Chain A
Amino acid sequence: MMSRRHLWVALALATGAAPAKAETIEVTIEKLVFSPAKIEAKVGDTIRWVNKDVFAHTATVNGAWEVMIPPKKAASLTVKKAESVDYFCRFHPNMKGHLTVTSP
């Protein structure tokens, strides 16, 4: 039988050793609007854009990255570094969003 102390150590290892679980943050695109417009994520999280429009959109950060989101489809990006950036749709630059990524 495992002693109380051993059990405690095992439990601490199990919870402490596991890094914060990566999450998926969903952004809906409907009628040319990113919703929510402002999102926060931690490094390692995934942003998932769900496009409900019949139009293709992008999530673009000039000179950095771009995610193409086909009509009626979803597309994802796993964020790898801490940054705070404005993004927009290259096809419809009046669509704007903001992403803040923090270190875990």
Chain B
Amino acid sequence: MFIRSTTALAAIFLLGAAPSSQAADKPTDPQIAHIAYTAGVLDVEAAKQALKKSKNKEVVDFAKDMVRDHEAVNKQALDLVKKLKVTPEDNPTSKALTKAAAEERAKLAKLKGAAFDKAYVASEVAYHKQVNGALETLLIPSASNAELKSLLETGLKIFQGHEQHAEHVAGMLK
């Protein structure tokens, strides 16, 4: 969890605070779309791992909620990029998120039972917190298309809801 958070955060700062001479200090709409979509896909993958490994009802229910919501929001995202004729563009933030998520999955793969449940849910709290921060401070303010911005705002509310839901499940596992 720590590794994932720091790597991805570093990547987000890379985009946000690059003191470069380029005008492109902030991500473009095609990059933002890619980051948001990737963040959703990674959470679905994490949830699918939990569905395979966990036997705890609260954790399994939570993971199912994650799959359902993130697939729904990503379907909307795909429909929107198609409509806007935007091609999502890979970028350092998406790459760092993907790399960090793969590391986290490998770490979780070694755990079992209650240890897995706790680590997965803690990782979900941290992950949603981190993505919320990026949405609030970087992605939403940088989005230039109004429809993309609106979808990101809905995404932020979904993610904030998931963060609270994950915190609630974490509390029950104690």
Residues of A within 8 A of B (CB): 31-33, 54-56, 71, 89-95
Contacts and interface: CB of A to CB of B under 8 A. Distances in A.
Interface string B106-139: 0000000000000000000000000000000000
A94 B159 CA distance: 10
A93 B162 CA distance: 8
A89 B160 CA distance: 12
Contact of B69 (A31, A91, A95): A91
Contacts of B168: 93
Closest 4 CB pairs of A and B: A92-B161, A32-B157, A93-B164, A54-B72
A90 to B, nearest CB: 8
Contact of A94 (B73, B76, B161): B161
Interface string B62-98: 0001001100110110000000000000000000000
30 contacts: A31-B153, A31-B154, A31-B157, A32-B157, A32-B161, A33-B157, A54-B72, A54-B73, A54-B75, A55-B69, A55-B72, A55-B73, A55-B158, A56-B68, A89-B161, A91-B65, A91-B69, A91-B161, A91-B165, A92-B161, A92-B162, A92-B164, A92-B165, A93-B161, A93-B164, A93-B165, A94-B157, A94-B160, A94-B161, A95-B161
A54 B165 CA distance: 18
A94 B72 contact: no
Task: Name B's interface SS.
Answer: helix
Interface string B132-174: 0000000000000000000001100110111011001000000
B135 to A, nearest CB: 14
Contacts of A31: 153-154, 157
Nearest to A93: B164
A75 B73 CA distance: 22
Contacts of A91: 65, 69, 161, 165
Nearest to A54: B72
Nearest to B75: A54
Contacts of B72: 54-55, 71
Nearest to B154: A31
A54 to B, nearest CB: 5
B13 to A, nearest CB: 26
Interface in B33-75: 65, 68-69, 72-73, 75
